[in-house]
Amino acid sequence: MVLAPRIEIKQSQKLMMNPQMQQAIQLLQLTNVQLTDMLTREMEQNPFLAFDAQHYREAGGEKGAPQERAVRVQGTSGAGLGADVVAVRVDFSAGESSDTPQRLEQTLVDTPSFSAHLIGQIGEELKHREEAALALELVGWLDDDGYLRETDAEICNTLEVEPSLLIQTLSQLQGFTPSGVFARNLSDCLRLQLLAQGSLTPTHSALLENLDLLGRGDLGALAAAAQIAVEDLPPYLQNIRALDPRPAASFEAQAESVALPDIVVLEGESGWQAYLNEATLPSVLVLERDWEEMATRKITDDERNFMKANVQSARWLKKATQQRAATLLRVARAIVGRQQGFLNQGMMALEPLVLRDISQALELHESTVSRSASGKLVQTPKGVFYLKDLFSTALGGKGGKGGKDGKRGSNTKATSSAAIKARIAEAVAEEVTHISPLSDEALVALLGEAGIEVARRTVAKYRKALNIGSSAQRKRAAKIARAATNK
């Protein structure tokens, strides 16, 4: 048998995604703030796309950053178009430069508040170009706590700098605010803070060198290491307890406090209801009359095709943003409708809820529900949460996995994992730690009394996820706290 090439016609089906479908998926998972940024960039390229003027003013758009300027575009009195609309133009004229002062100025625009705070100090305090350039690099090496964890050798090898330059630069950076930043470890962080306060003594230094003894609650060995009596420890321990082990935490809290919710939950006659946050939801307009006017002019075919493509893109983008808002509202209202107990009583009343429940109720794909909820903040009477925080798997009860050794008790009920975590956190917060802190077995029994049967290993896993130490660790911490308060 001889094999030879031949041409065949074959019919098949494939799922293809055109660019518009891909952009629609992208829009769905953007927050309102991210959507505004994306639309701003689109307006830079599309002359027929603009923000609604009244919405833009009410949202505080005219009070934007110095890098943004609002441009008023005169419109006509056509139907659906106001007297004027506002488009945003962003002018980033600064290009790449090897000059350190210009790098500092450009970096300040794009960095979060903690980094910007440090970079501002670098520009003011470090006068030598080499030190400022190295300091700017080191800011990116800091972890979430504000520590510089890498060794001198690792930094010098990676950045190809001399150890003497690194030591000289760090000696200045460790004097920056917040005190303790650029520390190499916890002991170094606390030492820098005491040094900044002018209260660092040899006794404090000895205590900081033996933090392991402090963590174990071995006050006798700690006093011996510091060469003082145990009864003289309290004032020193008070000073150490008053320090901040995470210098960058205050900036994280500040960044979270200014985050604006995408969804607002308000109480109505039929219970709690979700609404879109109009203050952050961008509203766009298509300049149809501008297109009609330009289309009547004598222009080349290339110019006409360019304008036609832009106006079609603007129309589709407006429709896509409206569809995104409608989908987000549907998903949010479905979630809020299932979590009325949480909105009335708090996290301990959070019902088990998974993506499949919402997708079946709304006849949407699970991926659509996931993208709609991803990253979206919701303002509730119990605080601001991510919309996905209102989802939680079920434990215990019929079909659950609760109970010791995977067995379910007849009197157990299905409870969300988030509600169980909340109950554990509340029980630990109310315990009398220095007398008898609750063990994992005691927490299992306490949950069982509420009709929630879970395994001890599950309680231990949730406790660790909540950053709650074991009963022995909590008892040692209480012992140290009592010692610090005894004068």
The secondary structure of 26-85 as a DSSP string is: HHHHS-HHHHHHHHHHHHHH-TTEEE-HHHHHHTTGGG--TTEEEEEEE--S-TT--SEE
Q: What is the pLDDT of residue 86?
A: 34
Token pair for 483: 């010692």
In the chain the first and final C-alpha atoms are separated, in Å, by 101
Q: Is residue 286 part of a domain?
A: no
For the chain, which residues score pLDDT lower than 70? 1-2, 14-18, 52-113, 252-259, 396-413, 432-435, 484-487
Q: How far is CA 244 from the centre of its chain?
A: 22
Q: What is the pLDDT of residue 15?
A: 56
pTM above 0.85, yes or no: no
Residue-wise pLDDT tens digits, 188-222: 999 999 999 999 999 999 999 998 888 777 888 88
Please calculate the CA angle 375-377-382 and round it to the nearest 5 degrees. 140
Q: Are 356 and 338 in contact (CB under 8 A)?
A: no
Domain count, the chain: 1
Q: Is residue 435 part of a domain?
A: yes
Q: Is residue 305 part of a domain?
A: no
Q: CA-to-CA distance for 61 and 282, rounded, in angstroms?
A: 10
Q: What is the pLDDT of residue 140?
A: 85
Q: What is the pLDDT of residue 433?
A: 58
Q: Is residue 225 part of a domain?
A: no
Is 142 strand, coil or helix? Answer: coil
Q: Is residue 481 part of a domain?
A: yes
Closest residue by Cα to residue 29 from 328, 315, 378: 328
Please calculate the CA angle 442-348-448 and round it to the nearest 5 degrees. 30
Q: CA-to-CA distance for 133 and 131, rounded, in angstroms?
A: 5
Residue 384 backbone dihedrals phi, psi, to 5 degrees: -100, 125
Q: CA-to-CA distance for 157 and 155, rounded, in angstroms?
A: 6
Q: Is residue 480 part of a domain?
A: yes
Q: Is residue 470 part of a domain?
A: yes
Q: CA-to-CA distance for 414 and 392, rounded, in angstroms?
A: 11
Q: Is residue 218 part of a domain?
A: no
Size (the chain), residues: 487
Which helix (H) or strand (E) segment holds residue 100: the answer is helix 100-110
Q: Which parts of 258-392 fold into alpha helices (H)?
A: 288-295, 301-338, 340-345, 355-362, 366-373
Domain holding 406, by residue range, is: 394-485
Q: What is the pLDDT of residue 16?
A: 58
Q: Are 431 and 437 in contact (CB under 8 A)?
A: yes
Q: What is the pLDDT of residue 49?
A: 86
Q: What is the pLDDT of residue 332?
A: 95
Query: Is it true that the peptide bond before 178 is cis, omega within 30 degrees of 0?
Result: yes
